[in-house]
Every structure is written in structure tokens, then in C-alpha cells.
Structure 1
């Protein structure tokens, strides 16, 4: 099936980018466990390495199993191309290193996955990629953080771990005003709930380890190029706008006007830096996409039921889930995610850190681990784990005090999840 077909989401989730194997007729995308690919001629090999011709050379830069995954996610997100990569963390790393050089600046939301925040601080300390953090829910403050030296804006569509939905279109307007790309981590929403490119995003990325893979089996990431940003002649982005002398002087924005960022991320990020995605993980993630449209409604419905129950529980001080009516972020939920704002949120437990950790230790169905977006429900204490490297005052400002736990609601029966929480909170 053509990757640019106009079918509905469920059909694309099953078919986009894939077709029966031309040699064997196998209908499921084969798992290509090879690290190298034979060339037809020396001239063909030279053309592939020089980017004059598409094709496979060495699996670090691409694999046929991963290529189907790339086409499928790019189609679901509405992008022109994608790059499957070793993890969501490496996806963000490659995006930043492709866009910025030492001394450049960018603005990032201050409410992000803890690993993203840690990576950004480390890149500033060691590589002089200067980040300015701002609250994405305060648009005036966010706009004020952008200067003439800013080269990109980075946000999450749905914030990890609070579950807040960001006004993507408004942030995109800020980016367009300064002619800089907007990068959106769409991991918590998936393209089933939000397609950030439709609201002005230029680059979208995911941790495949979460809802897209969906079963807690995969470590992987993917970068999607919207193909809309005009990189041509823009000296701020030399990898996109200036000649690559070691590739015969090719200028990616001229050679690949609609896919330039994806090509740069592959050539620099994959060939040079090396975080390739294993074909086995690509196969598992590809299989996960085929049920994404079935799993996400169940995740959301369960999250809504659990959040509503906890909001009235006497042992709970606060529930951050913006799918609840009356939550200050609820109007953005109605605009961007009418089917619900995902399945990850935080709660504040009365009794402080001791009570929060007691809750975690006493649950029987919820698993205590650091992932999110699995079929099973998960819980963790962010202040001492996923977000422990944040300065304490920033953790508090982000709503991650010692009394907070993060929930990722799975596909179990909601009544059983509620009963498990009740028995644990009773202690």
C-alpha cells in the first residue's frame, strides 16, 4: 500500500509503508537480520554512499524492516519522511545536534520527560548548546524566552508526567515569527490523539518504547520530518544549507527540498554518530503500530475512570489529569485531544513522601517501574527517580514534589485498577 494513500487511521496503522515481500510473498514485513547489503556494481555502491541513489549499504544507516516502520509513522504523523533510531533519547540528541552547533541557543519547555531535561543540561555543560527553559503553559513567558540567537523550540504535545496538553499552534506561531523550527515530542499523545504537524510542528519525534511499541518490549525512537521548513540558504543551519564536502559538495536543502532534515538526521545522526535501531526492535514497534488505534481509546477510557475516582478520594490531595472537567488545562484538551489527553498523569498523596512510597509498595496490579505507555499499569515516584536530577525548586515548580506519584494507566479492567488503588490507599 502506498504510504501517501488517503485511508483512515486504522487502515494506515495496519498497512502504510508495507506490501507483500516481492520474493517470497510473505505478508508480514520480514525481519532482515543482516548488517550489510550486497551491491549490484561498484558504481551502484558509490552512488548510494554519495547520496546520488537511494539504497541500503550498512544497517547502521537503515534497514528494510526499519524502513517500513519509518514510512508508516511518517504517514500517520503527516510527515514526508522519518528516521528510526535507537531510542527516544537518541532521537532528541540527533535532532539537537543536527540543528545546533556549539554556542547556539534554543528554547525548551521546562516541563518534559526527566531524561530530556538531563540530556539538555549535559549538552549545555559539555558541548555549549545553550538552553533556555520556559513554561509552555505560559505563552507570554515562553515567547519572551526566544531571542535572535534562538535556533529551535522544543516542547512535548502532552507533558510528561503531568498530562497537560500544550497549545501547539500558539507555540508554532512563536516559532514562525522568528523563523525557527518547532520540535515536538509526541510520545504521550501518539499520532492517534494529536498530529502536531497539522498545528505547525516542523519536526516530531517519539520514544517507540512507550505507546507505539506498547508492550514494554522495545527500546527505540523515531524522528519525523514535516518537510515544510525552508532550510535553503539559511546559514543558521549549515548541515541543511551548506555543502557537505565529503559528499561531493551536496547541499541537502537543494537536493532534497522536502526531506532535507530527515536526510541530514540519517547521514549525520546515523552514519556518523551511530545510534541505529536494531531490526528486531523495528519489527516489534511496527507490530505495535497495528493495534495503536485499538489500544489508545482503552488507555484513555481507563485513565479517565481512574482519575475521576482518585479526584474524590480522601487520601488524594490533587489529580493532574486534564481530562477532568474543571481542570485549568481542560479547554486545550477539548481543542487538541477530544478523545482524551492520554493515559499518564500525576497525583499528590496526602501524607507526603512516606505515604506516596507506601502507596507504590502496597499496590498489587500496578508495576513499579520507570516506563510508561505499556499494556500494564505502572507507577513511580518521580522526585527520587525519573526527575531526581532537576534542581529541587524546579521540581516543585513543575508539580513534582515529594508527595507526587506518576501513573501510567494500562489496558486492565478499570474496576480492578481502582480497587487496587483503594486497598493501597487504605493503609
Structure 2
């Protein structure tokens, strides 16, 4: 991107009281009064048939949490001394970091994550899973100037877990300096920066090194267990935490080489993966998708603008039979046409629908106001086709 070269990063950070990296906060233990968690993919590294649950028009495996708890006591990461000046790298990258807070209106909860400023006028790169499910409000706080902004999602790529935001009324922001992820090598020193624990404020930092490249992993939602496969990731031994999603993985010079997106939540499924390692999307891949979104170039995976919302909760019907309707959203397009639970969605227009994931993929190529011919099947196998006009719905 032509405006991704960045702005001077020293001055905005000089407003902060300290250049010492804040310790990684400890997340509060789960309990009935504190159901909220923050977006971060948990890596399963398992291959097999996946059954996904989601709200069609929101996402398959969207992220829903309850009220945001108060900040937890700090916890210092136990790690070997970093092989570089972590505070200096953090000082360079932090002014181009934003904290993202999302309200999930249909779920009555919220989510928190991180983003990277790409341009002084407020283009922000983050993970799709940070913002998916957003319905009513998205507030972004720029670390560089301390100001809060409302944000609009310009587009997203669910398959690659990328979203591009625009901050309303932003100007003069410190933009990230981007590195060359294609030049990244195993053993390179890195620091994962982000809104660890979703507590806001100055970013926290976790140093480490690159342990593997070109990783393909299956990432799971912390709450629902819904999964998707991500490709060509950078694996690091930095302690990536919930809330870090969408934040920068930086080199010792503070240049962004990746986007924090997933963590191994203590599971070891194959040789070479240790507990609590993290994964990042290479910045070259991420900015290529962001540029396509900025240029308005939709594709089979890149969605531009508002999401098409039918108002159906679906799961896989099994054996490629379709997307089984579990419930309908009151007042939504499907409810108004009388669609009911236990019907199978088997086609949209001329495209067969074999699963919940396939239905979401088809909807990602449509927009509010499109006329969709949706074919459903009953228990006896009889089919009927109805015309549904999606409305604008939750992001991603």
C-alpha cells in the first residue's frame, strides 16, 4: 500500500509515562458472573470432519462474551532474557497499535482485540474474528494519540482471517512501519504486541523467536469450538494471549512482520509444537488482502461492505446433506417467510449447499438487498424454493 511506509513513531509514544513493556496480565478465572473472553484462536492442529455452529449472516463460530470484567492483577511472563531491546522495539511499534472493543448486539456481550494502523487517515488492519458478530458498536482507541474513534468495517476475508477497518474522522495517526515477512527466518527474534487480556491501555509485549514457517493449523473459537484452517503462518514461542489477536508481531527494529492470530492453548498434537506457542499471519499476505479490500475488489473469499443477513442459526446436516436450520432470528428475513427449524438449506440460486460452512461461503459473495433463491428440504426430502432478500447484519 502506498501509504504504509509509516510516520515517525517516536513522538506519540513520548507521551507515555514509561518505555518499559507492561507485564502480561493474567486473565481472570471463568465463572458465572464473568463469562466474557477475548478473541484469540486456539490451535488444535487436528485434521478431520468439522461440524460448525453459527448464525448465518454473522459467522460460523462467531465470538460472543458477556460483560467486560475489571482488569486482573498483573502477571510477569516467565521467559528467558530477550535477545534484543524489547522496550525499544515496543516504543517504535506501539504508536501504530489500536485497542478494539466490539459490542455483539445479538448476543448481548462484547469482545476485545487489537489492530494495526496502516495509514494516517485511519485504515486499520486486524483479524476478521476480532470484529465478526459486531452489530451495534465498534470503538477503537489509538495508542499513539490516546483518542477513541468509531470504526467501520470496509471488508473482510474470512478464509484468511483478515479485516480492514476505517476510523471515522481520523487524521495524522502514526502508521506502522512494515517489514518483509518473506525474509523471515527460523530463529529470528520477535515480539508479539497487543491488548493482552482485553484490558486496554498501553500494549503489552511478549518476546520470543520464530520457531517454524509455513504452518497450516486448524484454529478454534475459545467459546464455541468452531474451527477453520489457516495457512502459511509464522510460528513463534512468544506467549500470545487472548486480546492480542490482530496485533503486530514485530522484529527488533519495530517493523511489523505478522499479525498475531492464534495460540496453542496448551495442547501438543504434533512434533515440534510446544504448549503456549503462537501463530501470526505474514504481513505480506495480510496487506495484499487489505489492498484488495481497499480497492473494492471482491472475490470468492474477499467480501466488501455490509454483510448479508438471513437470520438463521445452522449446523451441518451431515454427510454433505446441507445446512440444518436450528432456529430463526425473530423479525429476520427467514422468519418473515416462515422458515422453521429442522429444515435443510440445500441450495442458494444455482449453487448447492452441502454444509453450514458452504452456506456462509455463499452468503459472503452477496450483499444486503440481493434477491436470493433459497432451496430448503423437509424431512421427507421434498424441496421448496423461496426468495429471500437479506438485510444488513452482523459483521463477518
Q: TM-score range by the shorter chain?
A: under 0.3
**Greater relative CO (CA pairs within 8 A, separation 6+):** 2
Q: Which has the higher helix share?
A: 1
TM-score normalized by structure 1? 0.26
Q: Which of the pair has more CA radius of gyration?
A: 1
Q: Which has the higher strand share?
A: 2
